[in-house]
Amino acid sequence: MKTLGAVSQLIDAEPESKQTIKAQSLCEVKVPFKYEYNGITISIEKTIFDGGMLGVYAKAEKDGKTYTDWHYFVNPPILIPDGTFEIIKEEIDGEIFERKLNNYIEDPEGALKIIVGQVIEGVKWQL
């Protein structure tokens, strides 16, 4: 896995520092920007680092309805699947099993899009 800034910092960081490093990395993503997530138009307007958490102010639109709110994330991800996989073979009691594992890449903007999209999709009954 290719490491960029935040991931390389996480390798030697104390456990309690890791969530701070990841939240601060996501706060560095240039905003505002707009994107589509499962049929919902989402605009990430602002990010803040607040008490060890990532705060995101986002707007969402679907079918002419609008939803806006702050969302807070503790220990947010900064890695996303890169579309490739690794096959792991294990032998258990003489039988071979294969597991398909995602490979990941550091992508703070992509991670931000996914976590905000998942939260907003979870409240889409309001849209």
For residues 83 and 104, what is the distance between their CA atoms, to the nearest angstrom?
A: 8
Query: Over 16-58, what HEC string results?
Result: HHHHHHHHHHHHCCCCCEEEEECCEEEEEEEEEEECCEEEEEE
Boundaries of every domain in the chain: 5-126
For residues 92 and 120, what is the distance between their CA atoms, to the nearest angstrom?
A: 41
Instruction: Name the one residue in this structure whose structure tokens are 């990841």.
Output: 22
Among 8-12, 40-44, 93-97, 118-122, which stretch is predicted with the lowest mean pLDDT?
8-12
pTM score, two decimals? 0.81
- Phi first, then psi, for residue 4 (nearest 5°) are -110, -155
pLDDT tens digits, 36-67: 999 999 999 999 999 889 999 999 999 899 99
What is the pLDDT at residue 11? 82
